[in-house]
Structure 1
Amino acid sequence: MTIQLQSQSYGKSRVRFTKVTRQVNIHYLVECTAHVQLAGEFEKTYLTGDNSQVIPTDTIKNTVYAIARKHQWVDIETYGMQLTARFLRDFRHVSSATARIEQVCWQRAIVDGNPHEHSFVRGPMEIAKCEVIQTSESCFVESGLSGLQVLKTTASGFVGYIVDPYTTLQPTEDRIFATTVDSTWRWAEGPANCDATREQVRDSIVKMFATEYSPSVQYTMYRIGQKVLQDLPVIKDISFSMPNQHRLLVDLTSLGVDNANVVFCPTDEPYGDISATFGRT
């Protein structure tokens, strides 16, 4: 029997950095985590232990820091393209470089009603993200937003579903709807105004979630995708993952306490796992 190497890649994950850009009277802050994967002519190290073509993962880590320092960039997409380009430019045996970048939100602190020049507070918990896959012939960029937690206490229901001998779920036209939205999108012609686009996508998610009655997670997901694609022609298609994070009414009858939709128990698992991709025809 012959054992063959069918595919391979390697890299460095969870390389975190904080970058401070100091101007005369104000500082700017970004904080990111980078994950880098390289593919190319690395077969010898797998098959013979010959490391002569291996770029150490410690070098990959240092490259993450060096490119963050040497280059100016306005968004993580631009940084990801600069980072992956370095590996293709300097190492001919690298056929593709992939960078996944995640950025947490730090907001300028407000002191006495004014934004402070060098102090920040942690903002919303959602994460800006992108993936850049670059070869000598192409550069693919996908952007996204994850960890956006939303909840509404009414204007949601679930009826008309299949009922079989194993069904215990009761239909309702008034329930709590909670989810954590993970969204990714591809660009129609390449990245453009990435941070502003990401904020518009976020606004569309929140608006459609809050203002329309939800007969199902699936339909709400569709309506959000529809609005994003109508409002943002720069986006080619958009994908969502929206787990249904249940709030279960606590039964207090044994305690002699009435509980008419007041006290609920949040449950992390099990949860409904719903995803879809929407694009233009």
Structure 2
Amino acid sequence: MSDLNGKIVLGADQYGKAESRIVRIYRDSPRHEIKDVNVSTCLRGDFAAAYTDGDQSNVLPTDSQKQTAYAFAKQYGIPTIEEYGIRLAEHFVDEIEPVHLARIEIDEYLWERASADGAPHDHTWIRKGQEIRTATITVEGAGADRKVWVVGGLKDLIVLKSTGSEFAGFLVDDYTVLEPTNDRMMATSIVAKWRFVGTDADWDDVYSQVKQLLIEQFAVVQSRALQQTLFRMGEAVLEHFGSIAEIRLSAPNRHHFVHNLAPFGLDNPNEVFNVSDRPYGLIQAVVTRDDAPPAGPAWEQQFGWLA
């Protein structure tokens, strides 16, 4: 093995404030409203001196980024996480001179209004547990050169079907012990992220419809494999929304194995299962259009950047 002798230089760099939890209550009327978000900010720009020389003169403190996120929640509210993220990212690019690119990653925790005495209560909620809504907004440049990428999404959407799934005809080698099946339970926890074309969208409406399309396809597709189901999910979303360029899906198998009850003289026709969460198959796919515009840095998220 030969040694490398090239000059050592700083490569790509970025920094930001991760996971600022913000709860915004709207008290404009007797019936209050709530937004509950987890906000991460990430900046790229002229920061090389901070790394090579410890020179902080171009560095906006991460605490300042956090305080901006809280202040904007008050000043402008959080009508949708996409709108809030765009405003926040544009602020960093426009107002902080060394910043060339800003990316805002947001998780939204959903709440539903509690009932009291048979009616919805004005200021009490119950946390909804179905999924976490997500958005990633990336803004680069200013003026006519500005580019904005918006990625909507969800995670932790747990779904299960008791039939309508099979797995057979797979490649077999010397270490294969899995038996083929034409009737199995299928369960997973869906992560989906979809990249918009432009920023002119009804964010809430698109989100609710995409979620419903994903669930419907999971339910109705006679699945020969989870891979097929993911493609059908993505295909349905792109067919319905011309404003979405691509969708990325990740789904771990949540294995349910028919438990052997024969030692007790009991038949078990796919009724009692043993659930195993590890190890699990991790199925991932990108479903895209062949004319999709370039993604630029849209997918280069803060977490997992070094992966």
Q: Where does residue 285 of structure 2 map in the other structure?
A: 276
1:5 aligns with 2:7: no
The 4+ residue runs of structure 1 with deviation greater than 3 A are 252-260
Aligned to 2:71: 66
Assess if the C-alpha contact under 8 Å between 1:185 and 1:237 holds in 2: yes
Deviation at 1:98, TM superposition (A): 0.8
Q: Specify the alignment match of 1:233 in structure 2.
A: 242
Q: Confirm or deny that 1:205 pairs with 2:210.
A: no
Does the CA-based 8 Å contact 2:137-2:149 persist in structure 1?
yes
How far apart in 1 are the matches of 2:153 and 2:200? 12
Shift of residue 243 of structure 1? 1.4
Once the two structures are overlaid, the 10-residue window that deviates more, 30-39 or 204-213, is 204-213
**Which of 147, 150, 153 is residue 144 of structure 1 equivalent to?**
153
Cα pair 1:141 1:191 within 8 Å, conserved: no
1:175 lines up with 2:175 in the alignment? no
| Partner in structure 1 of residue 116 of structure 2 | 111
- The alpha-carbon deviation at position 124 of structure 1 amounts to 2.8
Residue 101 (structure 1) shift = 0.6
Which secondary structure does the structure 2 equivalent of 1:161 belong to? coil
* TM-score, with structure 1 as normaliser: 0.95
Instruction: Tell me how far apart the structure 1 counterparts of residues 115 and 218 of structure 2 sit (CA, whole Å).
Output: 29
Worse overlay, 90-99 or 243-252: 243-252
One-letter amino acid of the structure 1 residue matched with residue 21 of structure 2: R
SS of the equivalent of 1:65 reads: helix
**AA paired with 1:101?**
I
2:274 aligns to what? Answer: 265
Residue identity in the other structure for 2:254 = Q
1:29 and 2:34 are equivalent in the alignment: yes
Distance (whole Å) between structure 1 residues aligned to residue 68 and residue 196 of structure 2? 27
Aligned to 1:159: 168
% identical aligned pairs:
36
- 2:194 matched to which residue of 1? 185
Give the secondary-structure state (helix, strand or coil) at the position aligned to 2:252.
coil
- In the TM superposition, what are the counterparts of 1:42-57 in structure 2 within 5 Å? 42-57=47-62
Give, in angstroms, the shift of residue 10 of structure 1: 0.7
2:88 pairs, out of 56, 78, 83, with 83
Kindly provide the CA deviation profile for residues 228-275 of structure 1, in whole angstroms up to 9, marking residues without a partner as x: 122222222211111111112222334454433222121111111111
Structure 1 portions without partners, runs of 5+: none
Q: Secondary structure at the match of 1:274?
A: strand
Q: Deviations over 1:70-101 (max 9, x none)?
A: 11342101111111112112211111111101
* Preserved contact between residue 150 and residue 198 of structure 2 (Cα < 8 Å): no
1:84/1:132 contact within 8 Å kept? yes
Asked if structure 2 preserves the Cα contact closer than 8 Å seen for 1:39 and 1:94, the reply is yes
**Which of 129, 135, 139 pairs up with 1:124?**
129
1:215 aligns with 2:221: no
CA contact (8 A) 1:32 1:102 kept: yes
Find the aligned partners of 1:11 and 1:31 in 2 and give their Cα distance: 20
Structure 2 gaps, min length 5: 291-307
User: 1:156 offset after TM fit, Å?
Assistant: 0.8
Which shifted more, 186-195 or 115-124? 186-195
Which amino acid in structure 1 is aligned with residue 95 of structure 2?
Answer: D
Alpha-carbon distance in structure 2 between the residues aligned to 1:196 and 1:112: 31
Distance 1:246 1:103 in 2: 28
Distance 1:187 1:115, change over 3 A: same
* Higher mean C-alpha deviation, range 136-145 or range 1-10: 1-10
SS at match of 2:278: coil
Report the CA distance between 1:58 and its aligned residue: 1.2
Structure 1 counterpart of 2:296: none
3-state secondary structure, aligned to 1:62: helix
CA apart distance, 1:45:
1.4
C-alpha separation in 2, matches of 1:45 and 1:189: 34
Paired residues in the alignment total 281
CA distance in 2, matches of 1:226, 1:90: 40
